[in-house]
Amino acid sequence: MAFRETDEPCADCGKDAFGIIDSLVLDKGAAPLCFACYVERLDRVRACGVVNVAEGEFVVGASSVEETRELAYCVADEISTGVEASVETVAPLTEARDELGEYHARELARGTRSETRHVYAGTSERGTVIDAETRTDAETRDALRDALASYVLDEARRVRKRDDVSEVLASLLPTLVEHRVLRSLGVASEVWQLAKKRGVSRGSETSARNQRAGRQFEEYFADWCEDRNLEHIRGKTGLLRYHPETADEIARKTDGLAGVPDFLVRGDGQNTFSTEWRPEKDVFVEVKRGGSGLSREQQEVIAHLKARGFDVYVLRGESDEHTFEKR
């Protein structure tokens, strides 16, 4: 358990501690800390802002009030292309704790090492955060997705193939792209669906079918693991949850964990009763249908994982015939 209630004084300032924070959170061992010293020790997100979005709110965070204010207004400007948005408050995280709630505030302070997907998935490579989900509902997010997708396609005029979508989004909504907000909202998919209705190239239709087949192969591997009682989790989530120090190092050296393999499979040492592939320790698996290759980002992340002692495999082929290739 990362946080435990305590009556002890803060180890740094002597005030009442809000909890004992263990080594999963602090690099230098467990300690009782007040909230202000907890934020100081982490030295990640020190301020937050709230951006009103239709019927909900986005919460943004950065290392200073000034940086947070700049981020909040960038977010509001980009969202305003689809729905009404405005900056409500910007304040140090210690002052906003009551408004956010203790759990949300303390996880926001952790940034990429948060246990909350809404926070770590919205943390950029430079350490700023856009949490688009904690204080919005599905109806608000769907409305924003549709509005942003329509704006993007109207501005882009023509999207001929799926690869065009990423370039257009990065050009028109760079802050939301940097924090992967558009990915969580499903904007890219919606842009592509609208583009196909307006007409795209034949090659793009083939690409869409290949992507669907690729997702089905990933689902096959997940079922394959379940049939063999192998614990498995999406690669980025597993890396952040079970190996946060490695995640930090890779995030600093690559493009924000973009190339982490599809799955982390947790080994159980039970490799003596079968000739099938079965890991003895935590390994990463990238699922590649057919003959598709690894991207540059994937190759870089795999190299870092191997340097940290992890085995990495590529599951290649089809559901009825496949092999595990060790990288």
Q: What is the CATH number of the domain that holds 286?
A: 3.40.1350.10
Residue matched to tokens 């002890």 = 8
pLDDT of residue 190: 92
The average pLDDT across 153-180 equals 86
Residues 184 and 214 in one domain: no
Quote the domain boundaries for residue 16. 3-42
pLDDT of residue 259: 86
Residues 7 and 151 in one domain: no
pTM: 0.60
Residues 100 and 214 in one domain: no
Residue 223 has pLDDT above 70, yes or no: yes
Residues with Cβ < 8 Å from 34, sequence gap 6 or more? 10, 12, 13, 15, 16, 17, 18
Indicate the residue among 140, 168, 200 that finishes a domain. 200
What confidence tens digit (pLDDT) does each residue in 51-105 have? 999 889 999 999 999 999 999 999 999 999 889 999 999 999 999 999 999 899 9
pLDDT of residue 272: 44
For the chain, the domain total comes to 3
pLDDT of residue 161: 79
Residues 86 and 218 in one domain: no
Residues 48 and 38 in one domain: no
Residues 238 and 304 in one domain: yes
Lowest mean pLDDT among 55-59, 121-125, 294-298: 294-298
The alpha carbon torsion through 76, 143, 48, 36 (nearest 10 deg) reads 180
Residues 73 and 191 in one domain: yes
Residues 71 and 196 in one domain: yes
Indicate the residue among 200, 230, 263 that finishes a domain. 200
Task: Work out the number of other CB atoms within 10 angstroms of the CB of residue 317.
Answer: 17
Residue 278 confidence class, pLDDT cut points 50, 70, 90: confident
**Which tokens is 45 given?**
């997100």
Looking at every residue in the chain, the average pLDDT score rounds to: 86
Per the CB < 8 A criterion, the answer to whether 58 and 136 are in contact is yes
Residues 49 and 193 in one domain: yes
Residues 50 and 196 in one domain: yes
Residues 65 and 196 in one domain: yes
Residues 57 and 131 in one domain: yes
Residue 155 has pLDDT above 90, yes or no: no
Indicate the residue among 178, 200, 222 that finishes a domain. 200
pLDDT of residue 273: 45
More confident residue, 111 or 214: 111
pLDDT of residue 92: 97
pLDDT of residue 204: 52
